[in-house]
């Protein structure tokens, strides 16, 4: 039986759920999708990235990652997660290219969905358990408050 997620991580886990829903939708795009549907979905992904993922990444990078590095001794994992944030950002930038054909845009959307899902799973299955195991409760409480402040600013 899986133990309950630490309270300080719950806002991030809730956002992960929404990211998994989005990634599932993207991975299900048909091989020959309608151009208007792909354009609308690309716009939705850009908005989702701007409104949800940027603040989420900000909270992780400013509040969570430094504490993991301090208490978890796993800087390689944090480097990998930061790189994935950058890869997702680059994919969103590519989605905005006006010269993309529908098939190319659909392929980018599918790739974004796969990268996002793998990234979320890594955080939920590796990063969060490491945090819960190693970060002392008083520190975790401060991290949770910091995460909340960052997410409320957006």
CATH number for the domain spanning 139: value is 1.20.120.520
Task: Say if 2 falls within a structural domain.
Answer: no
Task: Say if 87 falls within a structural domain.
Answer: yes
- Pairwise CA distance, residues 88 & 84, whole Å: 6
Sorting pLDDT into bands at 50, 70 and 90, what band is 1?
Answer: very low
Contacts of 77 (CB under 8 A, 6+ apart): 68, 126, 127, 130
- Pairwise CA distance, residues 100 & 118, whole Å: 25
Task: Say if 57 falls within a structural domain.
Answer: yes
Q: How many domains does the chain divide into?
A: 1
Answer yes or no: is pLDDT of 40 > 90: yes
pTM for this predicted structure: 0.93
Task: Say if 123 falls within a structural domain.
Answer: yes
pLDDT 10s digits, 47-73: 999 999 999 999 999 999 999 998 876
pLDDT 10s digits, 80-112: 999 999 999 999 999 988 889 999 999 999 999
């Amino acid at each position: 039986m899986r133990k309950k997620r630490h309270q300080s991580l719950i806002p991030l886990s809730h956002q992960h759920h929404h990211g998994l829903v989005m990634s599932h939708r993207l991975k299900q795009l048909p091989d020959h999708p309608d151009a208007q549907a792909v354009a609308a979905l690309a716009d939705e992904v850009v908005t989702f990235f701007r409104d949800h993922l940027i603040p989420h990444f900000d909270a992780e990078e400013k509040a969570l990652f430094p504490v993991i590095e301090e208490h978890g001794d796993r800087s390689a994992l944090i480097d990998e997660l930061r790189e994935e944030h950058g890869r997702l950002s680059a994919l969103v930038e590519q989605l905005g290219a006006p010269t993309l054909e529908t098939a190319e845009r659909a392929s980018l959307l599918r790739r974004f969905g796969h990268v996002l899902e793998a990234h979320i799973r890594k955080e939920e299955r590796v990063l969060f358990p490491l945090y819960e195991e190693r970060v002392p409760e008083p520190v975790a409480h401060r991290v949770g408050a910091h995460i909340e402040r960052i997410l409320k600013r957006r």
